[in-house]
Amino acid sequence: MSANAPKPEKARSLWSDAWRDLRGNPLFLISSALILLLLVISAFPGLFTSASPRDADLANHYLQPPNWGHLFAPDWFGYDGQGRSIYARVIYGARASILVGVGVTLLVTIVGTIVGMLAGYFGGLTDSLLSRITDIFMGIPFMLGALVVLTSFANRAIWVVILALVFLGWTTIARVARGAVVTIKQADYVVAAKALGGSTTRILLKHILPNALAPIIVVATIALGGYIAAEATLSYLGVGLADPTVSWGVDVSSGREQLRNAPFVLIVPSVMVSITVLAFLMFGDAVRNALDPKMR
- The letter for the amino acid at 33 is A
In this predicted structure, what is the pLDDT of residue 14?
Answer: 65
Burial class (CB in 10 A: 0-12, 13-18, 19+), 60: exposed
Burial class (CB in 10 A: 0-12, 13-18, 19+), 52: middle
Q: What is the mean pLDDT of the chain?
A: 87
Contact present, 92 and 246 (Cβ < 8 Å): yes
Would the pTM count as exceeding 0.75?
Answer: yes
Superfamily in which the 25-44+77-291 domain is placed by CATH: MetI-like (1.10.3720.10)
In this predicted structure, what is the pLDDT of residue 4?
Answer: 56
In this predicted structure, what is the pLDDT of residue 1?
Answer: 47
Strand partners, 85: 79
- The letter for the amino acid at 265 is V
Contact present, 102 and 224 (Cβ < 8 Å): yes
Q: Which residues of the chain have pLDDT under 70?
A: 1-15, 292-296
| Helix or strand holding residue 18 (H, E) | helix 14-23
In this predicted structure, what is the pLDDT of residue 105?
Answer: 94
